[in-house]
């Protein structure tokens, strides 16, 4: 089973562009998966536009929260092994994940999600 880890910006961008993140994940993922976020992502969401809505969504969808050690969110995401699929819209993070040949989900044309680097 894969674990899809949502980065802060994909949560906020899906709200901003009115993309149903969870329906899109069902559409592109024809394999068993769970959705999770890092505990530090909750911290990053504080005081951002649409943060209240994002936090409500996380709670409503009962998204698993992964406890992490000290460190920067992007660095922690990159260190995760290949059973984790990172969902992000952060340009620099996307480049690092692709360079490491790890699975990634991104938002395209502000309308839909795509999945890359998965066998």
Q: Give the tens place of pLDDT for each residue, 105-118.
A: 999 999 999 999 87
> What confidence score (pLDDT) does residue 21 get?
94
Q: Which residues constitute the domain of residue 94?
A: 2-116
CATH of residue 108? 3.40.50.1010
Q: Render pLDDT for 23-42 as a digit per residue (tens, 0 to 9).
A: 999 999 999 999 999 999 99
> What confidence score (pLDDT) does residue 71 get?
83
- Predicted structure pTM score: 0.92
Mean pLDDT over the full length of the chain: 92
Average of pLDDT values for 86-96?
94
Average of pLDDT values for 38-59?
90
DSSP track, 19-56: --HHHHHHHH--S-EEEEEEHHHHHHHTTSTTHHHHHH
Buried b / exposed e along 39-67 (16+ C-beta atoms within 10 A): ebbeebbeeeeebeebeebbeeeebeebe
| Paired strand residues for 2 | 33
Question: Residue 78: is it exposed, middle or buried by C-beta count within 10 angstroms (0-12/13-18/19+)?
Answer: middle
pLDDT band at 119 (very low <50, low <70, confident <90, very high): low
d(CA 114, CA 58): 21
Split into its structural domains, the chain has a count of 1
pLDDT band at 81 (very low <50, low <70, confident <90, very high): confident
């Amino acid at each position: 089973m894969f674990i899809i880890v949502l980065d802060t910006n994909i949560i906020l961008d899906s709200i901003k562009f009115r993309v149903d993140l969870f329906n899109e994940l069902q559409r592109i993922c024809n394999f068993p998966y769970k959705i999770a976020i890092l505990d530090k992502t909750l911290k990053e969401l504080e005081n951002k536009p649409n943060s209240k809505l994002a936090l409500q969504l996380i709670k409503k969808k009962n998204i698993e929260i992964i406890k992490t050690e000290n460190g920067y969110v992007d660095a922690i995401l990159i260190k995760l092994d290949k059973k984790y699929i990172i969902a992000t819209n952060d340009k620099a993070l996307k480049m690092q994940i692709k360079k490491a040949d790890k699975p990634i989900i991104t938002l395209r044309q502000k309308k839909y999600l795509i999945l890359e680097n998965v066998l």
